[in-house]
A and B are shown apart, each in its own frame.
Chain A
């Protein structure tokens, strides 16, 4: 089985976010970048499928040269090779178009990625890739098994889960508990040094969206504690101070 895993290069979840250049760029100073956590689950499941049934796992990242440490980690975890599309990932459509451009000529059986990245959280890329390639896309996938050219997947839906089947090739947006996330071992880290990492130039994509600027959420105000014996104070504050009643 030939599997493509698309990974994002995102700030660690504990990062303090700030901006530069008149609030148009993320301030990357002091920020540790990681593989998108949902993407890492997708990668772990891909490696499990490869270990069980053979095949190859290729990781793909749309990003500039500074994402290569993240790609090397994916190789250390167990991917066989990597492709970096040398471009800043402007938006979901741009990223999906780059993935589709690569996938068109490579005949992957499975294209896996996280249900969403954890920086912009659009959750759109897997659906767009499916549309661009004209193949099924399913998300969020919590269980994925492949047998006889078909994938059986379990999806989380409101109040329960849904079991779906789809023919290969397909795109899946993954989340836990699809696999146990893997920690690279030292031999993996050593072998990642020499695994192939191909850099390709991006396909031409029309810009549909222009970023104007970012804004942080307003800081939280101080919390006022009201004694349970005086609920009338709460009404008074909501009415006269917050003016929401």
Chain B
């Protein structure tokens, strides 16, 4: 039966702030997640299996690059719609949201923002439809929070560039058709290159034995004298600001996505607490349980308002990097805290795959680290409000 059997917690009638179209987008992605992701995700996570077929389905429903203009195959939607999509997908699983986030914010966005017209026409429609899967190479084995110290580099060989180096912790890499890679040129400037699977010397070994984002595929990007055609250089990105703008876009999606994971944990715990009886009454009737649930809905409500306001600023072109950073940090921390508290309400059942909580909790350990760690985001806010950088 076509129906939506999940209602987002909406303690402050935040739905009244959404347009009918935004609610339609949320409903569509919610139905998509209920139909395509919920039935398989626990099994995929248990088996550390990336359901590759979901890439095509994400493309069909329009989950890739929803804010990219329609002429390049995107959705042409606003940022609150994009945020709501990420929320719904991450209600299913952070790994699935990571797949969509990377494709939209870290691959399509830089090609749209910094690419030539030829590059946009060549890659964006295929990425939007899911025919191509993309990945984003910034982090290196020895350079995580400090990407400006990267060592991956390329040399101008006249008719091509020669790329050398390695990237690590790259979502989608083992299955990616293309990689947007950030590397230093001979003058030490960070530039973006589009590297295609099949280029000689380019390999993507998988990272195994993760306890987090197990349904998402992660790997490395290794460049051993890779000849990259000159037309694959992103002409309009010059310097670290290029990849950092991409991260702004991805962090924005994470700020919304984390709410989805938190909602799933909260709703699971609330329902369980009402049904589970101990000492002759539902455990929801005990003060300590109510305290946990009350804190959860309060924090979700605050996170929803933060995300909605940030989305409005994004739509007006006014959202700043520190504002996005704050929302990412706050909302992911909120979600992981709720996952841990929800797990306690479920007792022993909380650690099993019968319920989604432990999976969300383990996923969120990655989410709180990637796209800028929790600590680094605190320093971004600290630097913004004091004018003094603490991480240089």
Q: Which bracket fits the contact residues of A?
A: 20 to 34
Are B75 and A190 in contact (CB-based, < 8 A)? yes
In angstroms, how far is the closest chain A Cβ from the Cβ of B222? 35
Are A185 and B61 in contact (CB-based, < 8 A)? yes
Q: List 5 A-B contacts (CB under 8 A).
A: A12-B4, A68-B20, A183-B28, A183-B61, A190-B76
Q: CA–CA, A13 to B25, complex, Å?
A: 19
- Answer yes or no: B17 CB below 8 A from chain A CBs: no
Are A183 and B3 in contact (CB-based, < 8 A)? no
Are B75 and A72 in contact (CB-based, < 8 A)? no
Question: With A183-B35, A183-B61, A190-B75 in contact, do A76 and B24 touch (Cβ < 8 Å)?
Answer: yes
In this complex, what residue of A is CB-closest to B77?
A: A186
Choose among B20, B24, B35, B76 the residue with the greatest number of A CB atoms under 10 Å from its CB: B24
Question: With A14-B7, A186-B77 in contact, do A37 and B2 touch (Cβ < 8 Å)?
Answer: yes
Question: With A14-B7, A69-B23, A76-B24 in contact, do A185 and B2 touch (Cβ < 8 Å)?
Answer: no
In angstroms, how far is the closest chain B Cβ from the Cβ of A118? 9
Are A13 and B75 in contact (CB-based, < 8 A)? no
Q: Which of B26-82 contact A (CB under 8 A)?
A: 27-28, 31-32, 35, 60-63, 66, 70, 75-77
Question: With A76-B24, A183-B28 in contact, do A190 and B70 touch (Cβ < 8 Å)?
Answer: yes
CB-defined contacts of B63 to chain A, threshold 8 Å: 186
Are B75 and A187 in contact (CB-based, < 8 A)? yes
- Answer yes or no: B238 CB below 8 A from chain A CBs: no
Choose among B5, B28, B63, B76 the residue with the greatest number of A CB atoms under 10 Å from its CB: B28
- Supply 8 further A-B pairs (C-beta < 8 A) apart from A72-B21, A190-B77: A12-B7, A69-B23, A73-B24, A176-B1, A186-B28, A187-B62, A189-B28, A190-B70
In this complex, what residue of A is CB-closest to B5?
A: A14
CB-defined contacts of A189 to chain B, threshold 8 Å: 21, 24-25, 28, 62, 75, 77
Choose among B3, B4, B20 the residue with the greatest number of A CB atoms under 10 Å from its CB: B3
Q: CA–CA, A176 to B1, complex, Å?
A: 8
Q: Which of A36-72 contact B (CB under 8 A)?
A: 37, 40-41, 68-69, 72
Are B3 and A12 in contact (CB-based, < 8 A)? yes
Question: With A186-B25, A190-B76 in contact, do A41 and B2 touch (Cβ < 8 Å)?
Answer: yes
Q: Which of A32, A181, A190 contacts B7 (CB 8 A)?
A: A32
In angstroms, how far is the closest chain B Cβ from the Cβ of A100? 27
- Answer yes or no: A101 CB below 8 A from chain B CBs: no
Are A187 and B7 in contact (CB-based, < 8 A)? no
In angstroms, how far is the closest chain B Cβ from the Cβ of A86? 18
Q: Which of B100-136 contact A (CB under 8 A)?
A: none
CB-defined contacts of A183 to chain B, threshold 8 Å: 28, 31-32, 35, 61
In this complex, what residue of A is CB-closest to B10?
A: A30
Are B62 and A185 in contact (CB-based, < 8 A)? yes
In angstroms, how far is the closest chain A Cβ from the Cβ of B65? 9
In angstroms, how far is the closest chain B Cβ from the Cβ of A56? 22
Question: With A13-B3, A40-B2, A190-B77 in contact, do A184 and B28 touch (Cβ < 8 Å)?
Answer: yes
CB-defined contacts of A73 to chain B, threshold 8 Å: 24, 27
Are B66 and A186 in contact (CB-based, < 8 A)? yes
Are B60 and A185 in contact (CB-based, < 8 A)? yes
Question: With A69-B23, A193-B21 in contact, do A186 and B32 touch (Cβ < 8 Å)?
Answer: no
CB-defined contacts of A14 to chain B, threshold 8 Å: 3, 5, 7
- Answer yes or no: A34 CB below 8 A from chain B CBs: yes
Q: CA–CA, A213 to B84, complex, Å?
A: 39
Q: Name the 8 nearest CB pairs between A and B, nearest first.
A: A186-B62, A186-B75, A181-B2, A69-B20, A185-B62, A40-B2, A184-B28, A185-B61
In this complex, what residue of B is CB-closest to A68?
A: B20
Q: Produce 1/0 per residue, A165-194, CB < 8 A to B.
A: 000000000001000010111110110110
Question: With A184-B24, A187-B62, A189-B21 in contact, do A37 and B3 touch (Cβ < 8 Å)?
Answer: yes
In this complex, what residue of B is CB-closest to A13?
A: B3
CB-defined contacts of B24 to chain A, threshold 8 Å: 69, 72-73, 76, 184, 189, 192
Are A187 and B2 in contact (CB-based, < 8 A)? no
Q: CA–CA, A183 to B31, complex, Å?
A: 7
In angstroms, how far is the closest chain B Cβ from the Cβ of A77? 9
Q: CA–CA, A219 to B384, complex, Å?
A: 58
In angstroms, how far is the closest chain A Cβ from the Cβ of B114? 23
In this complex, what residue of B is CB-closest to A43?
A: B2
In angstroms, how far is the closest chain A Cβ from the Cβ of B82? 10
Q: CA–CA, A76 to B25, complex, Å?
A: 10
Q: Produce 1/0 per residue, B186-205, CB < 8 A to A.
A: 00000000000000000000
